[in-house]
Amino acid sequence: MNLSSLLSFFAKKDQSVLGIDIGSSAVKVVQIKKKRGKIVLETYGELALGPYAGIEVGRATNLTPEKSAEALRDILREAKTTTVSAGVALPLSSSLISFITIPQVQDKQLADVISLEARKYIPVPMNEVMLDWSLVPREDSFSTDEENKISANTKEPVGSSQDVLVVAIHNEYINNYQIIMDSSQVKTSFYELEIFSSIRAVIDQGIQAVMIIDMGARTTKLYIVERGVLRSSHIINKGAQDITLALSKSLSISVAEAENMKRLHGLKGGPEYKELTEIITVNLDYVFYEANATLLNYQKKYNKDVSKIILTGGGVLLKGFVDLAKISFQTEVVYANPFAKLETPAFLAEQFSQAGPEFAVAIGVALRRLSELE
Ligand SMILES: Nc1ncnc2c1ncn2[C@@H]1O[C@H](COP(=O)(O)OP(=O)(O)OP(=O)(O)O)[C@@H](O)[C@H]1O
Ligand SMILES: [Mg+2]
């Protein structure tokens, strides 16, 4: 290694990277770097998008790329980020996910076979989407002996078929994001669907299936993950803003007041806030009912229990959310703590564990960008 390549080697190792998550109601950024083998959090920040659309904080927006870029520039400035090198998350709604089964073919034929099969599931012309895929590891390649015995009796013989996770993202989304990043001077290394960012940020090594619940402003997203691999995803058309809008309507208060009240008291307002508690409970019950149905479906289909539920997204920060979730799910329910994957100042530990659920996507996408430098 000559001197210049040695220098660029160290420059690369020391490089800071950004993770960017533009949600429907808020944009989140984190900046991290590798230092002496550890991943260090340099800065992070979040900004509500409502005001850029002339609506309240906490509500979902449909911003033009120009407006989104304005917000992104603002938060990068506010957080005092010092790099432009980024990984960027794309919303789940930009994509179509399908699990397809193809015959076992040779590697060089894979792309063709998958693209041909995927056509059947994707309702738009193939030249309008970007296609990405990954092979789902075979059950028996990672199951225990006990499971093997069962699968040997019930599954097709090894080598006859292959499950593939196919993600199609509409080109229009990519183009819009390109405009946002270009006009914010951000250099995007890749775009990644937010699911995969979340999984990277919150899942630890473990063999059992877990469900991630991401309660955003517009929707609630459910992902079932086994051994780090996505096995099922589902969107519920109810998010945290719907609780605010329901409160505003039922209590005849402004949306801004409703949002404040929701964040201040949540389910912990006591007898004085009986109505508030009731309205929130009704809305969350709907979400939990749907999530339970997804869980049961999965358990029935694969004959496997989901051992844990991990909460992400701003909506789960509602006071008392986790207690109600524990009653509804009858299984272990925990808050995501993606900051635990980073070196952070110990005296801020409490603050980080509270912000964790909101930053899962931004941290996950930054971690991938960082791993590209290795
Ligand atoms: N402390 C809190 N208590 C209750 N709700 C909260 C709290 N903090 C944030 N929220 C709610 O969380 C929502 C924002 O969550 P998040 O930032 O995960 O959404 P998003 O990523 O912008 O949306 P989406 O994922 O749907 O695109 C808002 O609707 C807000 O009302
Ligand atoms: Mg989100």
Share of the chain above pLDDT 70, in %: 91
Whether the predicted pLDDT of 1 surpasses 60 = no
For residues 288-308, average pLDDT? 95
Strand order in the sheet with 229-236: 229-236, 220-226, 209-215, 306-312, 332-335
Which helix or strand (DSSP H or E) is residue 328 part of? helix 321-329
Give the chain's end-to-end CA distance (angstroms, integer): 17
DSSP label at 343?
B
**Phi/psi of residue 90, nearest 5 degrees:** -110, 145
109-118 pLDDT, tens digit per residue, is 998 999 899 9
Q: Which ligand is nearest to the CA of 256?
A: 1
The structure tokens listed for 185 are: 């001077």
Residue linked to tokens 């801020």: 348
According to CATH, what is the number of the domain 3-371?
Answer: 3.30.420.40
Ligand 1 atom closest to Cα of residue 24: 27
> Whose CA is closest to atom 28 on ligand 1?
58
Q: Which of the residue ranges 69-78, 202-211, 349-358 has the most confident prediction, judged by mean pLDDT?
A: 69-78
Share of the chain above pLDDT 90, in %: 76
More confident residue, 2 or 277: 277
53-69 pLDDT, tens digit per residue, is 999 999 999 999 999 99
Ligand 1 centroid to Cα of residue 130, in Å, is: 29
**Residues bordering ligand 2, an ion, CB closer than 5 Å:** 23, 216
What is the C-alpha separation between 364 and 21, in angstroms, rounded? 10
Residue 160's pLDDT band, with cuts at 50, 70 and 90, is confident
65-87 pLDDT, tens digit per residue, is 999 999 999 999 999 999 999 99
Ligand 1 atom closest to Cα of residue 46: 17
Q: Which ligand is nearest to the CA of 217?
A: 1
Whether the predicted pLDDT of 8 surpasses 80 = no
Ligand 1 atom closest to Cα of residue 319: 3
What is the C-alpha separation between 215 and 311, in angstroms, rounded? 8
250-262 pLDDT, tens digit per residue, is 999 999 999 999 9
Pocket of ligand 1 (CB under 6 A): 23-26, 58, 91, 216-219, 239-241, 244, 259, 262-263, 266, 313-315, 317-318, 358
Q: Which ligand is nearest to the CA of 354?
A: 1
Partner residues linked to 90 by β-bridges: 193
Whether the predicted pLDDT of 153 surpasses 90 = no
Q: Which ligand is nearest to the CA of 218?
A: 1
The long-range contacts involving 74-78, CB below 8 angstroms and separated by at least 24 positions, are: 74/47, 75/27, 75/28, 75/29, 75/45, 75/46, 75/47, 76/18, 76/29, 76/184, 76/186, 78/45, 78/47
Ligand 1 atom closest to Cα of residue 93: 27
More confident residue, 123 or 284: 284
Whether the predicted pLDDT of 188 surpasses 70 = yes
Ligand 2 centroid to Cα of residue 162, in Å, is: 31
The pLDDT assigned to 7 comes to 52
| Pocket probe mutation, ligand 1, options 21, 25, 212, 264, max atoms within 8 Å of Cβ | 25
Ligand 1 atom closest to Cα of residue 218: 26
For residues 228-234, average pLDDT? 92
More confident residue, 363 or 1: 363
The structure tokens listed for 243 are: 């609780």
Q: Which ligand is nearest to the CA of 219?
A: 1
Ligand 2 centroid to Cα of residue 216, in Å, is: 5
What is the C-alpha separation between 45 and 50, in angstroms, rounded? 16
Partner residues linked to 96 by β-bridges: 168
Whether the predicted pLDDT of 143 surpasses 70 = no
Q: Which class for 20: exposed (0-12), middle (13-18), buried (19 or more C-beta within 10 A)? A: buried
The pLDDT assigned to 373 comes to 92
**Nearest one of 368, 371, 366 to 43, comparing CA atoms:** 366
> Whose CA is closest to atom 24 on ligand 1?
216
Ligand 2 centroid to Cα of residue 232, in Å, is: 18
Ligand 1 atom closest to Cα of residue 194: 25
Q: Which of the residue ranges 114-118, 179-183, 348-352 has the most confident prediction, judged by mean pLDDT?
A: 179-183
In the chain, what are the domain boundaries?
3-371
Checking phi first, is residue 195 left (phi over 0); if not, alpha (psi -120 to 50) or beta?
A: alpha
Mean pLDDT, the chain, as a whole number? 91
